[in-house]
Amino acid sequence: MTPSDRSRVAIYPGSFDPITYGHEDIVRRGLDFVDRMIIAVARTSTHQKRGLFTIEERVEMVREVFAGEERVEVKAFDGLLVDFAREHGSRLLIRGLRAVSDFEYEFQMALMNRKLLPGVETVFLAPDVQYSFLSASLVREIASLGGSVDAFVSPVVRDRLVAKFRERAS
């Protein structure tokens, strides 16, 4: 970020495998208090998660979901989040908290990120109550068993889930 660039840039990191309405809710509400948001799609996860979509597929899906929103950028990243934040001139990280169980891990990460990059701040947003139970892993499980995920993901994501599981079945 150049000294003349005073825009407030936030980074919303995650695996987004796939992006859900809960993620979308966090991004849209986060845009109420920042000028730009970079959705940072992690190549590798700090949690041991079994991925469904490739990094390229996840980035493409997120871009499709936010196609009409000029203030949202989508980028893949690996390595330390603080290095990505430094590279993109951001000192603001946004994280979603669904339940108290998320807090301990996210709190530790926020403090570690601040230690690694002094001045970086993490803002925690709770999703809308209708999405408070929602996780990408639950969506993947429902879709893998042939259930409807219409209430949990955008149509473009739903179509990709259906195609992915159809492809795996053949």
Which fold would CATH assign to domain 9-169?
A: Rossmann fold (3.40.50)
Strand partners, 10: 37, 92
d(CA 16, CA 20): 8
Q: Where are the domains of the chain?
A: 9-169
pTM, two decimal places: 0.91
- Residue written as tokens 């601040």? 114
pLDDT in tens, the chain (170 residues): 444 467 899 999 999 999 999 999 999 999 999 999 999 999 976 555 568 999 999 999 999 999 999 999 999 999 999 999 999 999 999 999 988 788 999 999 999 999 999 999 999 999 899 998 999 999 999 999 999 999 999 999 999 999 999 888 87
Determine the 3-state secondary structure of 56 from DSSP. Answer: helix
d(CA 16, CA 14): 6
